[in-house]
Amino acid sequence: MNRRTILKRGLLAALGLAGGLAGHAYATNSLYEGPLSDHFDGTRFFVPGHPFEGSPMRLLRWQFGERPAPWPTSWPSPFADKPPERVGGDDLRVTLIGHASFLIQVAGKNILVDPVYSERASPVSFAGPRRVNAPGIDFDHLPPIDLVLVSHGHYDHLDLATLARLHQRSKPHVLAPLGNDTVIAPRVGGRANVTARDWGERHDAGNGVTIHLEPSYHWSARGILDRRKALWCSFVITSPAGTIYHIADTGYGDGQFFRGVQKNHGPIRLAIIPIGAYEPRWFMKGQHVNPEESVRILQDCGAEHAIGHHWGTFQLTNEEIERPEKDLGAALAAAAMEAGRFQAFRPGQVWSGVGV
């Protein structure tokens, strides 16, 4: 294990241990104040029926007891996109920027999901996961952005530096789950530019586009005192061009959330499903699906097509850089599903179609 890996793991372990200890010591919530619910106990959010397993000792066991597969320092994508300014009618255009960052163009609206343009997915600039490929859309080539969706506060999904750049450029509205507005608002001009919603609530984006916040099997934290003090979510986007189901991070759990999306919002035209950051399974199973479970999610939600993301840009876990794509192919074959229905995307790759 080289010195850089030791420093990175030491940082993660220290933050995790301090966060776990502080999380037990401080039973207050500075990010959100609201009524009790079936997933909020007055201090922390939780997934009903699924106890949180992210203990400090489990984190230390992973960080110092496991060795990650080596990744290349550079793994450029063969794709690069320069999107049109708008897409209208029944057209739908979706581009992977990298990791979990997407540009969704539909009904004349430009929507960014979990935009991360920073070099590292980390609270500091000198350590932590570093990107091995450039964003699939150059920042200067982004069209005017109307709405930014932020799924949760982890650094590979909520990049405050990128949100500040976007605010300076086009001042888009930001939609995030409860508590995240407290983190985001100071960087995007105040709370008037951020809307926070709970699971089961929705936001009218105009032009017949509605954003629905749906639950996922995950958690949140950005520092040592805020574990599960802000909510996390998936997004369902209903539009004149069909319905898009974007899942940022999730475990599989009992699958009821995914079946519920089909029941409440189906039919789904496109599902955007994570396929990476899943090893070791004993640690990651509750929070990140593997490709076999990703295929099961596609079956559960019944989407016509799926895009696989959350792989190949930032090394967060132990698997080899290309393994998610290979494991997805094997899972699709085992399920007797056509490979073209569920593709592992690289940055800059575009999914588009006409009509519903």
Q: Is the pLDDT of residue 7 over 60?
A: no
Q: Please tell me the least confidently modeled range out of 7-11, 30-34, 318-322.
A: 7-11
Please report which confidence band the pLDDT of residue 5 belongs to, taking 50, 70 and 90 as the band edges. Answer: low
- Give CA angle at 154 (153, 158), nearest 5°: 60
Contacts of 343 (CB under 8 A, 6+ apart): 306, 307, 308, 349, 351
Q: Is the pLDDT of residue 17 over 70?
A: no
Higher pLDDT, 298 or 66: 298
The CATH number of residue 164's host domain is 3.60.15.10
Task: Give the pLDDT of residue 355.
Answer: 36
Q: Please tell me the least confidently modeled range out of 16-20, 156-160, 170-174, 327-331.
A: 16-20
Q: Is the pLDDT of residue 121 over 50?
A: yes
Q: For the chain, how many structural domains are there in total?
A: 1
- Residue 305 belongs to what domain range? 3-353
Please report which confidence band the pLDDT of residue 26 belongs to, taking 50, 70 and 90 as the band edges. Answer: low
Closest CA relative to residue 302, chosen from 243, 344, 237: 243
Burial class (CB in 10 A: 0-12, 13-18, 19+), 355: exposed
> pLDDT tens digit string along 207-256?
999 999 999 999 999 988 899 999 999 999 999 999 999 999 999 999 99
> pLDDT tens digit string along 36-69?
999 999 999 999 999 887 666 777 777 777 789 9
Task: Give the pLDDT of residue 225.
Answer: 87
Task: Give the pLDDT of residue 20.
Answer: 44
Phi, psi of 202 (to 5 degrees): -140, 165
Q: Is the pLDDT of residue 141 over 50?
A: yes
Cα–Cα distance measured from residue 35 to residue 78, given in angstroms and rounded to the nearest whole number: 49
Mean pLDDT of the residues in the chain? 91
Cα–Cα distance measured from residue 301 to residue 271, given in angstroms and rounded to the nearest whole number: 8
